[in-house]
Amino acid sequence: MPAVTIIIIVALAAGELLLHYMRAPSRRVQATTPAKPPADSLWQAPDSISITDGPEGALVRYGQDLIARTGYYFGPAGTIDRRQNGLDCQNCHLKAGRQPWGNNFGGVASTYPKFKERRGGLESIAQRIADCFQRSLNGEAPDSTSREVRAMIAYMQWLGTGVSKGKKPAGSGIAVLSFMDRAADPEKGKRSYETKCSRCHGPNGEGLKDNNARTYTYPPLWGDNSYNTAAGFFRVARLAGFIRYNMPFGADYRTMELSADEAWDLSAFINSQPRPVRDFPADWPDISLKPVDYPFGPFIDSFPAETHKFGPFLPIMQAHQRH
């Protein structure tokens, strides 16, 4: 390659980068997850070798298995109970809750029990697990004193080894994306879905059951067997943060394939499709603490439910700040 070509390529690349940084700040209004965080500063799960032999270690291992194969134990053909939709916790808490920015459990042991705005009070790990059973698995939770719930808690506590009390380590949970200055667009999302997602999750979001129908090879994203309207993913910002950092399957925080805008639009599309409706009337006793993307009233502002569902969220944030 002649030197002059190389210089032109380098100059063009530098220009792109500069433009990117010039454009970025105007959109950065909430504290967001950096697009490419330094990988070595993120929380990493402890090594399995540190799970002890004996009864305590056995409980931790059982907890991990319950999280990885929840549908096998609790789904419609479950071996323990059959009051859930067949999803595995791991479908949404990737690698059994170990994946950086994969909705992992790195900050659970250190921060629970904690005050939850949705509950309007302190919440224990057992109660948080029950929340996901009732909302994300659209079912009922096993008793909080059962060996199963104790095992899941033991596993989460083991995952939190070395995280100081009160700290939520970088890379734990779900990434927070900057708000777009427009509403998320289900039509655009539908087009991305068809090219990038439907080959696994199915043209109707129905997923693909595995051979013995106990669990899913590809989990459903909407319809009767998906998370219900009270789940965390029914909030567009939550779903977008997960999708951007983890989908299409195989992408991760180091190799993201979707732009943030694409992730918002995909979430708008997925959350426009039919899914089980479940209402928990006691949620958000103090409505001023509701997140702006929570799509059900009552609201403290006069924006319609549609705006709370898809945005634009900035005007809502600004209206709240004026209060």
List interacting residues with ligand HEC (CB under 6 A): 67, 70, 87-94, 103, 105, 107-108, 128-129, 132-133, 136-137, 152, 173-174, 196-197, 199-201, 218-221, 227, 231-233, 238, 242-243, 247-249, 258, 266
- Name which of 18 and 284 has its Cβ closer to ligand HEC: 284
Closest approach, Cβ 161 to ligand HEC, in A, equals 16
Calpha distance 294→316 (Å, rounded): 12
Closest approach, Cβ 174 to ligand HEC, in A, equals 6
Calpha distance 285→118 (Å, rounded): 7
Closest approach, Cβ 47 to ligand HEC, in A, equals 20
- Name which of 155 and 299 has its Cβ closer to ligand HEC: 155
- Name which of 21 and 131 has its Cβ closer to ligand HEC: 131
Closest approach, Cβ 13 to ligand HEC, in A, equals 27
Closest approach, Cβ 234 to ligand HEC, in A, equals 9
- Name which of 16 and 73 has its Cβ closer to ligand HEC: 73
- Name which of 268 and 316 has its Cβ closer to ligand HEC: 268
Go through the chain and tell me how many residues it has: 323
* 283: CB partners within 8 A, 6+ apart: 118, 119, 230
- Name which of 86 and 311 has its Cβ closer to ligand HEC: 86
User: In this structure, what token pair is assigned to residue 70?
Assistant: 């929840």
State the sign of the Cα–Cα–Cα–Cα dihedral 4, 8, 11, 17.
negative
State the sign of the Cα–Cα–Cα–Cα dihedral 176, 180, 183, 185.
negative
CB 86 within 8 A of CB 133: no
User: In this structure, what token pair is assigned to residue 105?
Assistant: 């459990």
Closest CA relative to residue 149, chosen from 55, 46, 67: 67
CB 295 within 8 A of CB 316: no
Closest approach, Cβ 235 to ligand HEC, in A, equals 7
- Name which of 18 and 66 has its Cβ closer to ligand HEC: 66
Calpha distance 218→202 (Å, rounded): 9
Closest approach, Cβ 1 to ligand HEC, in A, equals 35
Calpha distance 161→60 (Å, rounded): 12
Closest approach, Cβ 301 to ligand HEC, in A, equals 20
Residue 304: how many other CB atoms lie within 10 Å: 10
Calpha distance 135→62 (Å, rounded): 23
- Name which of 51 and 197 has its Cβ closer to ligand HEC: 197
Residue 262: how many other CB atoms lie within 10 Å: 18
